[in-house]
Homo-oligomer: A and B are copies of this chain.
């Protein structure tokens, strides 16, 4: 019992005893048994993160920020990834974390389908969604719509008549929001709204989408929904000998570390993934500490980074 008091920094232990206990602990290589502690306190001091493909820059950055912030406050992070993006897969990942008795779960699940799954998730555990659209749980998200509007307005302000769009997959909230923001900006400026082309976030899909847009030479500016597709688009334009930014301006989204070194360096919208991760943890901890599940929504604005892929039309 006295050992327990020393470990938990309780004041009712004399200095002498405390020192003796600590000495014995180091001597014996004693380590408190987390299982026994969890059994009696009912708290595991572990949080779960369920996420889609963590090789993507965004999710990976958030996960990293979450883990660091969690360790600082004495929590461990357990992960569960989604092999495929559907409700069942989400349910299994969620269940795997529940089975470990995590005290709360952060869901990095930017799909409409996983948001639906979140609606059916157990209500007796703290949950926070990241980029979770209109999920019935507290949410942290970057203001995608605003970012897309900024991107589009940046291109319009340079003098482009209108702006094309290579969109992300339609079952992603981020893709939907960026599409809306682009649409908003063009509508507000009373410009023609070109038909959009849809990709799947991959460089390859950006490449293919751009090849389709090459057939419309009147288009002098394209807002690409993420940087990876933008690199594919740059490739396609380069192959078609269409100079960027001389003949076509390009704006991306994300500001991945490579973006600055594309040919040409990419104008894009920076998302503070680390901040998103930290905020989501803070929001989760509120619930873990006892606050009721709210529908609070923290929105983080993106930032336009102007580089060399945009300029006035020729």
Of chain B, the residue at the smallest CB distance from A256 is B258
- Chain A 75-91 residues near chain B, CB threshold 8 A: 76-81, 83
Q: Which residue from B37, B99, B202, B234 sits with its C-beta under 8 Å from A257?
A: B202
Q: Kindly state whether residue A98 has any CB partner on chain B within 8 Å.
A: yes
Q: A35-B38, A235-B262, A235-B263 are in contact. Are A83 and B68 (CB under 8 A)?
A: yes
User: Which of B57, B79, B261, B263 is within 8 Å of A55, CB to CB?
Assistant: B57
Stretch at the interface among A18-26, A59-67, A184-192, A289-297: A59-67
Given contacts A64-B81, A67-B81, A101-B35, contact A258 B76 (CB under 8 A): no
- With a CB–CB cut-off of 8 A, which chain B residues contact A79? 63, 67, 77-79
Which of B39, B68, B78, B260 is the one whose CB lies under 8 Å from A204? B260
Q: Does A113 contact B (CB under 8 A)?
A: no
List A88-142 residues whose CB lies under 8 Å from chain B.
96, 98-101
A interface residues, how many (CB within 8 angstroms): 52
Residues facing B in A240-256 (CB within 8 A) are none
From B78, B203, B234, B260, contact of A260 by CB (8 A): B203
Interface membership of A207, Cβ < 8 A: yes
B68 and A63 form a contact (CB under 8 A): no
- Cβ-closest chain B residue relative to A206: B261
B203 and A258: CB pair below 8 A?
Answer: yes
- Assess the A96–B71 pair: CB atoms within 8 A: yes
Partner of A54, one of B53, B64, B96: B64
A202: which B residues are within 8 A, CB to CB?
Answer: 257
Cβ of A34 < 8 Å from any Cβ of B? yes
Question: Quick one: which of B39, B54, B257, B258 contacts A36, CB cutoff 8 A?
Answer: B39
B-binding residues in A (CB < 8 A) = 31-39, 44, 46, 53-55, 57, 60-61, 63-64, 67-68, 71, 76-81, 83, 96, 98-101, 202-204, 206-207, 228, 231-232, 234-235, 238, 257-258, 260-263, 265
